[in-house]
Amino acid sequence: MTGNHLEVIVDNKPIRALVDSGASFSIISDRYRRYLKKVMFSETKNVVLKVANGSFVRPMGKCMLRVIINSRELLFEFVILRHCSHDVILGWDFLEAFQAVIDCGRSELFLEDVCQEPSPLDSWKLYAIEDCTLEPRSLSRIAVSGCQVGRDLNVVVEGNKNLLFERNIAIPSILTSYNSSESEIWVTNMQSEKRVILKGMCVGRAELLDERHLCAITDTSNHMDALTETTQFCIEYSLMISPDLSNEQKGKLEELLRTFSGVFVNTDKSTAARTNVKHRINTGDYAPIKQKAYRVSPTERRIIREEVDKMLDKGIIQPSESPWSSPVVLVRKKDGSWRFCVDYRKLNTITTKDVYPLPRIDDTLDSLKGAQFFSSMDLRSGYWQIEVDEADREKTAFVTPEGLYEFKVMPFGLCNAPATFERMMDNLLRHLKWTMCLCYLDDIIVFSETFKDHISRLRTVLKCIQEAGLVLNPKKCLFAAREVKILGHLVSRNGVRPDPDKVRAVRNFPTPKNVRDIRSFLGLCSYFRRFIKGFCYLAEPLQLLLKRDAKFHFGAEEAEAFDNLKAALTSDPVLGLYDENSPTEIHIDASGYGIGAVLVQIQKEVEKVIAYASRTLTKAEKNYSTTERECLAVVWAINKFRPYLFGRHFTVVTDHYVGS
C-alpha cells in the first residue's frame, strides 16, 4: 500500500485502487466497468450519492466484482458512477465488511478472514464452485461446495439472507442429501433482469441433521402430489411478485400471499369448486346422439389411454353407461405435444344456447382508467373447477378404444361452457366487479391507484376465491405490477397498447397467396383497428380482393397496403384510457373512399388519443358531395362513440369549413 492507494486485481485485471474510509460506498467508474466487459450490470433505483464537492449524483447501477488483495480473493458489490476521479475506490462498506485494519505508520492494510473462519463439523458455509448466470424471474440449480466431511449427509440448507435483501436472490430452506465433493441447491432470481452468482460467493450454510430430532411419520403417499405442489408454490411465490416494488412493499405482498397460499395449491383430489353453479346441457326432446370412436394409430391410442387414466385418477371423469357418445380427437400443440379433445359438434347443434353475456373488451379496458397497480390471476384448469349437473353428465360421454366415459366436471368443447363459466365468476365477484376487479372467463384482474388499496382489494378478492374453493395457477399470476396483459392488450397507467405477442403474429404473417390468407390477415389486424388511424384507407386494396367477383392479384399496391398495416401495428401505438371528467373532442375526416374519426381527450393538459375509427363508403355514399360526406362522418362518429359521448358536452373538430 502506497499512501492511500493499493495495488489490487479486479476480475483478473491489475489496477491501483483508492482506499477511502470517507466514502460510504465502494465505487467503480463506468469506463472501467466497460473495460472489464464481463461484469453483470444491474440498475439501482431511488439511490442518490453526495460527492466530495457537495453535489449529488445518481449511480448508473451496481455490479459484483471479484477483488484479489494480497492473494486473498474477495467478492463485493460496487456502485457504478459515470464520472469518477479513480477507476476503483474501496469505500467504508468494503473496509467494514472485511474488518479491515489500516496501519498508517507502515502504510499497510490488513483484512480479517471473516469469510473463511473454521466451521464446526456439524455446520459449514456453502460456496459457489463456478460462475452461474441466473435468468430473469427463473429457478436455477447451482453447484456448491464447502463440506469437510467425507460421507453422504442429510443436512438442512439455509440461504444467505444478504442475497435476498440486497440482490433479490432467494434460496429456500430445504432438507437434502449432501456429498463431500459437491452438491446442488435451488436458487430463485426474483428480478426482471439477469443476476450472476460468482465463483467463491457464499450462498448459504448447511447444518448437519440430528436424527434424534426426527419424529416418526406414517405413510402419506396419497398426499404426496399435494405436498409437492405446496413445496413448488413456496419456491414459485416470489416469482409472482412484481420486481418493480420496494422491499417493504414486497414484504407486505408476500405476507398476504402466504395467508392465502391455499388458493394456489389443490390439496383435494376432486377439482370441482364449491360454488352453486353447475353446467346444464339442455337438449330438449332430441334423442341421444351416438357416434363411434375414430380409428387411431397405436401411438395415438397410447396417448388417449394415458390421458384417460390421468383424468380417472383426478376424479375428472368416470366410467359411463350413457346412451350418448362423442368421439375423441387429438390436437397437436405448438410445442409438439398432444391435447386431448372431445368432438362435441353434433351435441352442440341440438343444445339450447345459453345467451349469458361475456364482458365487452373495450368496456373492460376502459374501466382500468387511473389505476397504478395491477394484479393478474388465472384459474388452474378453470373449466374443470365447475361440476356438470348429474342429470346431464351422460351427455358428455365420449368413446375410446378402451371404453365409454363421462365427465364429472365441465369439459372443453361444449358450446355453453363459456357462458356457464362467466356466470360462475360473476356470481362469485358480483359485488366487486368493475369497482376493484374484472373477470373475463378464467382471467381475474385486480386494479387500484395506490399500493395500500391494492393490498386491501387483493385480500378481498382472494378471500372470495378461497371461500369458493377455486384454485389459482401460480405460474400465470402476477401481483402488483405496473403493467398487465389482458385480452391481447398491455395496460398501464400510461394507457393501453397491443400485446407484443399478438403484434408479432401480424409482423410474421407471410405474404398472402390467396383470398383466404387476405381474410385471415385482415381479421388479425381488425382486432386492433382502434389503434390504427385510417384503418379502412390502409386496408382498401386488400378489401377489394374480398369482393365476390374479384380476381386475386397481389401486386405492388396490395403489397404496399400489406406492409403499411404491419407498420401501423408494429410501431407500438399507445392509446389513452377514457376519463369521463376530461374535455373530449371528435376529430373528423372524410374522403372519396371512406370516413374516419378520432376520439381525443385533454388529460392533465396533454392531448391523448382514446380510439380511432373508420369505415368505407357505400356505393351510394360515394356520390355524396364533399360537404355531405363530412356531415355523414360527423353523424357516424357520434353514433360510433356514443358510449363515451352520451349525456356530456364534447367538441367536433373538422377541417371542412362548410361543415364546421
Tens-place pLDDT, residues 54-96: 667 778 888 878 888 877 777 778 888 888 888 898 888 888 7
DSSP symbol at 335: T
Task: Tell me if 73 sits within 8 A of 48, measured CB to CB.
Answer: no
pTM comes to: 0.62
CATH of domain 123-212: 2.70.40.10
pLDDT at 533: 86
What does 357-368 look like in DSSP terms, one character per residue? Answer: PPPPHHHHHHTT
pLDDT at 12: 80
Compute how many other C-beta atoms are within 10 angstroms of the C-beta atom of residue 233: 20
In 3D, which of 163, 172, 249, 154 has the Cα closest to residue 209? Answer: 154
| Same fold? 298-492, 498-571 | yes
Return the CATH architecture of domain 584-653. Answer: Roll (3.10)
Tens of pLDDT along 401-455?
889 999 999 998 899 999 999 999 998 888 888 889 998 888 899 999 999 999 9
pLDDT at 398: 95
Tens of pLDDT along 86-130?
889 888 888 877 777 777 767 777 776 544 443 444 567 777 888
Question: What per-residue string of b and e applies to 244-276 under the rule 16 or more CB within 10 Å gives b?
Answer: ebeeebbebbbebbeebeebbbbeeebbbbebe
pLDDT at 116: 43
CA angle 42, 43, 47 (to 5 degrees): 135
pLDDT at 44: 60
- Top-level CATH class of 5-111? mainly beta
In 3D, which of 44, 99, 50, 102 has the Cα closest to residue 77? Answer: 44
pLDDT at 223: 45
DSSP symbol at 265: -
pLDDT at 77: 80
In 3D, which of 318, 339, 313, 341 has the Cα closest to residue 393? Answer: 318
Kindly state which CATH superfamily the domain 298-492 is placed in: Reverse transcriptase/Diguanylate cyclase domain (3.30.70.270)
Q: To which residue does cell 353428465 refer? A: 393
Q: Which triple of cell numbers denotes residue 337?
A: 405435444
pLDDT at 441: 85
Q: What's the CA gap between 420 and 411, in Å, rounded?
A: 12
Q: Which triple of cell numbers denotes residue 573?
A: 401505438
pLDDT beneath 50, residues of the chain:
114-121, 150, 212-224, 226-235, 659-660
DSSP symbol at 244: T
> Residues in the chain, how many?
660
CA angle 68, 74, 76 (to 5 degrees): 115
pLDDT at 272: 59
Q: What's the CA gap between 225 and 649, in Å, rounded?
A: 60
Return the CATH architecture of domain 498-571. Answer: 2-Layer Sandwich (3.30)
Q: Which triple of cell numbers denotes residue 456?
A: 386491501
Residues 6+ apart with CB under 8 A from 384: 271, 272, 316, 409, 410
Beta bridge partners, 405, equal: 319, 398
Domain locations in the chain as residue ranges: 5-111, 123-212, 298-492, 498-571, 584-653
